[in-house]
Amino acid sequence: MILSHITKQYRGTRALDDLSLDIEEGKITAVLGESGAGKTTLLSCIMGLLPFEGEIDGVSGKKPKRRKDCSYLFQDALLLPNLTAEENIAFVLPTGMGERIKEMLARVGLEGKENAYPHELSGGEKQRVSIARAFLYPHTLLLMDEPFSSLDLALKRSLMELVRKLREEEGGTVLFVTHDVQEAAFLAERALVLHRGKLIGDLPIAAPQPRDFLSPPEEARELARILLDSGEIK
């Protein structure tokens, strides 16, 4: 996917500033940046939720259309409270996928919880349901916006490893927004750094998978340095 000269201006704020970049197919690309850098705005433009100046794959952003070929994973699991785990997934899929849903729920560690309602699941289990749903929904691009940010460390490691493994088995292109260098260094094959709507870093992360959560690849230091150099104390 090629993003060319994307500018997004809110009233008074230039959230994306003439941003050009490519998202390589079949890779996990992280977008790192401090709060307010423009990460979520970038995802919204890609999702077709906001008009913007510039083009994505040659298509102008002036009259955006919501993309149907994207799957999402957000910080909040976004489950409907009156549907079971299985029904929450079936809700977004074509009919007749019951067996595949059961199989995927087992792969994410929720065997036996198919008929549980969200209030009967822990925070981690709810996020497992949303991970299962994100991978089952037919997509060409998986967009992840800080899905691990609110988790405690053990759960974060466990769910990041789950996403890594599913992505390895299923393949596909992933765009992963995070403010956390350790998360980017654990999952991504390439990290982009945003600052005030501009690209200030673009680093391949070549370390083989699976990676050790406690010993991040050396690129993590370089990413932290780029972020710290750009940072301002507010």
Interacting residues with ligand ADP (CB under 6 A)? 10, 13, 15, 33, 35-41
Pick the closest to residue 224 from 193, 195, 199 (CA basis). Answer: 193
What is the smallest separation between the CB atom of 193 and ligand ADP, expressed in angstroms?
11
| Nearer Cβ to ligand ADP (39/167) | 39
| Nearer Cβ to ligand ADP (15/160) | 15
What is the smallest separation between the CB atom of 38 and ligand ADP, expressed in angstroms?
5
User: Which sign does the torsion angle of CA 50, 55, 59, 62 carry?
Assistant: positive
Pairing of strands 53-56, 59-60: antiparallel
What is the smallest separation between the CB atom of 166 and ligand ADP, expressed in angstroms?
25
What is the smallest separation between the CB atom of 205 and ligand ADP, expressed in angstroms?
20
Single-letter code of the amino acid located at 149: S
Distance between CA atoms of residues 87 and 80, nearest Å: 9
Distance between CA atoms of residues 211 and 184, nearest Å: 11
